[in-house]
Amino acid sequence: MKRPRIVLIEDDTWVQQQHARVLGTEFEVHAAANALEGIDAIDRIRPDAIVLDIFMPGPNGVVLLHEIRSHVDLAIIPIILATNNAAEISLAQMKPYGVVEVLDKTTMHPEDLPAAIRKALS
Amino acid sequence: MPHATLVAVMEGTDNKSSQRGGTSMNVPLFMTAAHELKSPLALVRQLSLTLENGDHSPAEIEKIAHQITLTSERALRLTTDLTKTSRLEDSLFTLEPLNPASLCESVVEELAPLYRAKGKNISFRSRQRTLLALANKDLLRRILLNFANNALHYSADDMPVVVSAQLREKGSRIRLSVRDFGPALPKNVWGFTARSLGPTAQTLHARPESSGLGIYIAHQFAEAMSARVGTVRHRDGATFYVDIAASTQLRLF
DSSP-assigned states of every residue in A24-60:
TTTSEEEEESSHHHHHHHHHHH--SEEEE-S--SSS-
Q: Do B207 and A57 touch (CB under 8 A)?
A: yes
The answer as to whether B116 is a domain residue is: yes
CB atoms within 10 A of CB A114: 18
| B158 plus B128 within the same structural domain | yes
Report helix, strand and coil shares of chain A as percent, to nearest 5: 40, 20, 40
- Provide the pLDDT for residue B128: 66
Greater confidence (B216 vs A46) lies with A46
Residues B247, B95: Cα–Cα separation, whole Å = 10
Check whether residue B100 and residue B157 sit in a common domain.
yes
Give me the pLDDT at residue B67, please: 94
Together in a domain, B225 and B183:
yes
Same domain? B51 vs B124? no
Residues B53 and B104 in one domain: no
Are residues B38 and B72 located together in one domain of the fold? yes
Q: Give the pLDDT of chain B (253 residues) as one tens digit per residue.
A: 333 333 333 333 333 333 333 334 466 777 778 878 888 999 999 999 999 987 889 999 999 999 999 999 989 998 888 888 877 766 677 888 999 999 999 999 999 999 998 889 999 987 666 678 889 999 999 999 999 988 887 787 778 899 999 888 777 889 999 998 876 555 544 554 444 443 333 333 345 445 677 888 888 899 888 898 888 888 788 899 999 988 866 544 4
Identify the pLDDT of residue B71: 94
Structural domain boundaries, residue A17: 9-54
Q: How many domains does chain A have?
A: 1
**CA pseudo-torsion sign B184, B187, B189, B193:** positive
A110 against B89, higher pLDDT: A110
- Distance, CA of B205 to CA of B211 (rounded, Å): 6
B196: CATH: 3.30.565.10
Task: Kindly state whether residues B13 and B127 are assigned to the same domain.
Answer: yes
The verdict on B72 touching A (C-beta cutoff 8 Å) is no
Give the model's pLDDT for residue B252.
47
- Whether residues B133 and B229 share a domain: the answer is yes
Q: Which structural domain range is residue B39 located in?
A: 28-86
Domain count, chain B: 2
Nearest to B90 by CA among B23, B39, B45, B140: B23
Quick check: is A33 in a domain? yes
Q: Do A18 and B50 touch (CB under 8 A)?
A: yes
Residue A59: per-residue pLDDT:
75
Q: Is A78 on the interface with B (CB under 8 A)?
A: no
pLDDT at B130: 64
Residues B119 and B169 in one domain: yes
ipTM (interface predicted TM) = 0.87
Q: Which residues of B touch A57 (CB under 8 A)?
A: 153-154, 207-210
What strand order describes the sheet that includes A28-32? A28-32, A5-9, A49-52, A79-83, A99-104
Is B1 within the bounds of a domain? Answer: no
* Nearest-by-CA chain A residue for B71: A14
Element (H, E) at A101: strand A99-104
pLDDT average, residue stretch A23-31: 95
Q: Are residues B32 and B131 in the same domain?
A: no
Q: Which residues contact residue B215 at a Cβ distance below 8 angstroms, ignoring those fewer than 6 apart?
A: B146, B147, B150, B204, B206, B229, B231, B240
Residue A2 pLDDT exceeds 70:
yes
In a domain, B76, yes or no: yes
A2 DSSP 8-state letter: P
Q: What is the pLDDT of residues A51-80, one digit of tens each?
A: 999 887 777 888 889 889 888 889 899 999
Q: Please check whether residues B104 and B167 belong to one and the same domain.
A: yes
The pTM of this model reads 0.73
Residue of B38, B46, B53 to mutate, interface with A, max A Cβ within 10 Å? B46
Contact A56 B47 (CB under 8 A): no
Chain A nearest-CA residue for B211 = A55
